[in-house]
Structure 1
Amino acid sequence: MSGDHVTRPWGAWAVLDEGPGYKVKRITVHPEHRLSYQTHAHRAEHWTVVSGRATCVIDGSTLVVRPGESVRVDIGQAHRIANDGEELLVLIEVQLGAYCEEDDICRLHDDYGRDAVPQ
């Protein structure tokens, strides 16, 4: 287990477990914040909401995901998670793919000035 914990302008993430072909993160998103609209070339993601309400945009379609519900993002799909509510959003993200590192992010739009930059 990696134990990485990273703070971002929108909230934070922590690696809970990882191994060949997968990584599991706990992601928190502050109220009225959202992550980058982004794609990944090497991994799919599966998000399960633990608390709060996630507004998810996947390839331009918006859906609201509540505690106990989940959504899948396939490799190459543009996606974003937003917290439009007033309570902290907590979700578990399972990444599946040949490469699950942070530099497999292509930002299409970012509220914090990190547009179109692999991270």
Structure 2
Amino acid sequence: MTTTESRPWGSYTVVDESPAHKTKRIEVAPGSRLSYQRHRHRSEHWYVLAGTLHVTIEGAETVLLPGQSVDVPAGSAHRAANHGDVPAVFVEVQTGTYFGEDDIERLDDDYGRAGAGAVAQ
């Protein structure tokens, strides 16, 4: 069973999870971006399926197109953004020891959710 969660920047769907990993399909709406954040307990691998994804990791920005991917090490400040006019879609595979949404330290957020463990719709 999949679970889809709406967010101000788009949505994500959990497509698979186990004690060792969690896999999400993430859709970022045109002109939107996720918070600049980091996780203590997990690393992430992002694989772009559609659109153009602007990825910032520790202040360095990279532009990814469909078929390209990037690794986000645990503890690294990171953000995904969509500056285009069509949705950007990517698959996120999380690996580590804990995958809860409360393992998010938001360093900057367009939607007023900054702070450690801040989880808001």
Band of TM-score, shorter chain: over 0.9
Residue 80 (str. 1) matches residue 79 (str. 2): yes
Query: RMSD value over aligned CA atoms?
Result: 0.8
**Amino acid aligned to 1:114:** R
Alignment partner, residue 29 of structure 2: 30
The answer for unaligned runs of 5 or more in structure 2 is: none
1:117 deviates by 3.6
Q: Post-superposition, which runs of at least 4 consecutive aligned residues in structure 1 deviate over 4 A?
A: none
Alignment partner, residue 3 of structure 2: 4
Superposition map of 1:16-95 within 5 A: 16-95=15-94
Q: Deviations over 1:58-109 (max 9, x none)?
A: 0000000100000000000000000011111110000000101111100000
Residue 104 (str. 1) matches residue 99 (str. 2): no
- CA distance, structure 1, for counterparts of residue 115 and residue 54 of structure 2: 22
**Amino acid aligned to 2:4:** H
1:116 deviates by 1.3
SS, match of residue 34 in structure 1:
coil
- CA distance, structure 1, for counterparts of residue 96 and residue 116 of structure 2: 21
Q: Deviations over 1:19-41 (max 9, x none)?
A: 01100000000000000000000
The answer for unaligned runs of 5 or more in structure 1 is: none
Alignment partner, residue 114 of structure 1: 113
1:9 deviates by 0.5
Query: What fraction of aligned residue pairs are identical, expressed as a percent?
Result: 51
SS, match of residue 27 in structure 1:
strand
SS, match of residue 15 in structure 2:
strand
1:52 deviates by 0.2
- CA distance, structure 2, for counterparts of residue 51 and residue 75 of structure 1: 25
